[in-house]
Amino acid sequence: MTDVSAETEVAERIHAVGIDGTATVFPCAGNDTLLRAGLRAGLEMPYECNSGGCGACAIDVVAGEIDDIWPTAPGLSERQRARGKRLACQCRPRGDCVIKVRLRNEAPPVERPLRHTVTLVGRETLTHDMAEFHFKAAVPARFLPGQYALLDLPGVIGSRAYSMSNLPNDDGIWSFVVKRVPNGNGTAALFDRLAEGSQITLDGPFGMAFLRPDSPRDIVCIAGGSGLSPVLSILRAAAREPKLAGRRLTLYYGGRTPADLCHDKALARDTATAGRIHAVGAISDPEVAEWTGERGFIHEVVKRAVEAGGDPKVFDYYFCGPPMMADAVQRLLMLDWRVPPNQIYYDRFL
Ligand SMILES: Cc1cc2nc3c(=O)[nH]c(=O)nc-3n(C[C@H](O)[C@H](O)[C@H](O)COP(=O)(O)OP(=O)(O)OC[C@H]3O[C@@H](n4cnc5c(N)ncnc54)[C@H](O)[C@@H]3O)c2cc1C
Ligand code: FES
């Protein structure tokens, strides 16, 4: 039998985490991760996925003991582990400790992450395997368009990252476009087990791929599959932003077949995006005969369209989607076109 009082005691114990070589110390609860606690304290901790997959949050534990909640997480190689590296997004402190980490040299987003109990209040089907889920918290939903949250789902080990598809709001609504993953634990819980009225824990916001409305450039968004979620939020915000009134907002959205594409439906539901966004849908399955739109992988479609229009370096780019798609777009922007890094914002859905 689980000893609930012992678990609660561990969760509530607050430990001091020092950053080696500095005077910085931040508090971390026994059930929090070093990464999330550092971000809650306003530190520029390095990270991307918050899910154990990318390795961007690697640290050394210089003193003290930690629990590694996913010791085989793919973000570190066996060699790196043997050399003592750990993932801050997968480490919980057992007591006070000291870590070695190189903080990022940029200001963190203004909204610090917070844990909320949220209730599933609605779900809308978008395609045969995608739906938009709506959760409600007791306090306003504060995040930047393009950011993500971590959801703790019933019966699922580890949190899952999902990007908000809506806009920050006072009603406490957090919406996510989610694609069902075959044999996926988190998506099975969301699609099959979570009934309306169920409560879960949501932690957020996280992520650096948020809309920069002060940039003077036109915006190109590129998404595949559920990568539509953050891009919808970015486009919804951009379409409402007075500073971007004269800017061209383009979305390139890719799927395997026409049945996978739901961008027109999603954009048409919002009066601000309807008619304001230049949207290009593309399919990659060459066997599909009934299709008059663009064909090919989405990075190929973007390459053709943007090069035909002139200089690719004149845009800001936001892209999200599965790793293969995100890698191909990243290569196109960074290696082929040499777009400056401060014009490229992305999340890879590991
Ligand atoms: C920044 C970010 C934003 C994302 N946004 C979206 C979105 O808006 N919509 C969407 O559909 N998908 C999104 N994803 C993908 C999503 O987080 C899930 O990976 C996907 O839904 C598959 O989850 P699953 O549980 O069904 O599959 P599974 O195969 O069961 O799990 C996949 C993921 O869960 C995590 N995981 C697995 N095992 C463990 C463990 N033991 N401990 C801790 N973690 C574990 C890993 O990150 C792994 O990649 C995003 C991912 C990232 C990184
Ligand atoms: S942020 Fe920890 S592995 Fe990606």
Nearest CA, atom 3, ligand 2: 52
Q: ∠ at Cα 114 (190, 240), nearest 5°? A: 80
**Total-model pTM:** 0.95
How remote is the CA of residue 76 from the centroid of ligand 2, in Å?
Answer: 9
Neighbouring residues of 228: CB distance < 8 A, sequence distance ≥ 6: 130, 165, 177, 253, 262, 263, 266, 320
Q: Which atom of ligand 1 is nearest to the CA of 181?
A: 26
* Spatial separation of the C-alpha atoms in residues 173 and 141, rounded to whole Å: 6
Distance 223 CA to ligand 2 centre (A): 21
Q: Which CATH superfamily is domain 114-206 in?
A: Translation factors (2.40.30.10)
Helices assigned H by DSSP within the chain: 4-12, 34-40, 78-82, 185-188, 228-240, 263-268, 298-309, 323-330
pLDDT at 240: 96
Q: Is 179 in the pocket of ligand 1 (CB under 6 A)?
A: yes
For ligand 2, what atom is nearest to the CA of residue 50? Answer: 1
| pLDDT at residue 12 in the model | 73
The CB of 349 under 6 Å from ligand 1? The reply is yes
Per-residue model confidence (pLDDT) at position 106: 78
CB 121 near ligand 1, within 6 Å: no
Nearest-atom number in ligand 1 for the CA of 51 is 47
The tokens for 42 are: 């306003």
Strands 173-179 and 130-136: antiparallel
Looking at ligand 1, which atom is closest to the CA of residue 179? Answer: 11
Domains of the chain, residue spans: 4-100, 114-206, 218-348
Query: What is the rounded distance in angstroms from the CA atom of residue 327 to the CA atom of residue 37?
Result: 29
Cα dihedral 242/244/247/251 (nearest 10): -110
| Neighbour count for residue 233 (Cβ, 10 Å) | 27
- Residue 107: per-residue pLDDT: 74
Task: Per residue of the chain (350 residues), give pLDDT as tens.
Answer: 446 566 666 667 999 999 999 999 999 999 999 999 999 999 999 999 999 999 999 999 999 999 999 999 999 999 999 999 999 999 999 999 999 999 988 777 778 999 999 999 999 999 999 999 999 999 999 999 999 999 999 999 999 999 999 999 999 999 999 999 999 999 999 999 999 999 999 999 999 999 999 999 999 999 999 999 999 999 999 999 999 999 999 999 999 999 999 999 999 989 998 889 999 999 999 999 999 999 999 999 999 999 999 999 999 999 999 999 999 999 999 999 999 999 999 998 87
What pLDDT, on a 0 to 100 scale, did the predictor assign at position 1? 47
Q: Is the CB of 164 under 6 A from ligand 1?
A: no
Q: Which fold has domain 4-100?
A: Ubiquitin-like (UB roll) (3.10.20)
- CATH architecture assignment, domain 218-348: 3-Layer(aba) Sandwich (3.40)
pLDDT tens, residue by residue, 307-335 = 999 999 999 999 999 999 999 999 999 99
Contact 323, 348 (CB under 8 A): yes
CA of 350 relative to ligand 1 center, distance in Å? 6
Give the per-residue pLDDT at 157: 93
pLDDT at 137: 98
Q: How far is CA 47 from CA 169, 282, 308, in A?
A: 26, 31, 36
Q: Is the CB of 187 under 6 A from ligand 1?
A: yes
Q: What is the pLDDT of residue 5?
A: 63
**Is residue 273 in contact with ligand 1, taking CB distance under 6 Å?**
no
Candidate from 33, 51, 72 with most ligand 1 atoms within 8 A of CB, to mutate: 51
What is the reported pLDDT for 4?
A: 56
Ligand nearest to the CA of 87: 2
Give the ligand whose atoms come closest to the C-alpha of residue 46. Answer: 2
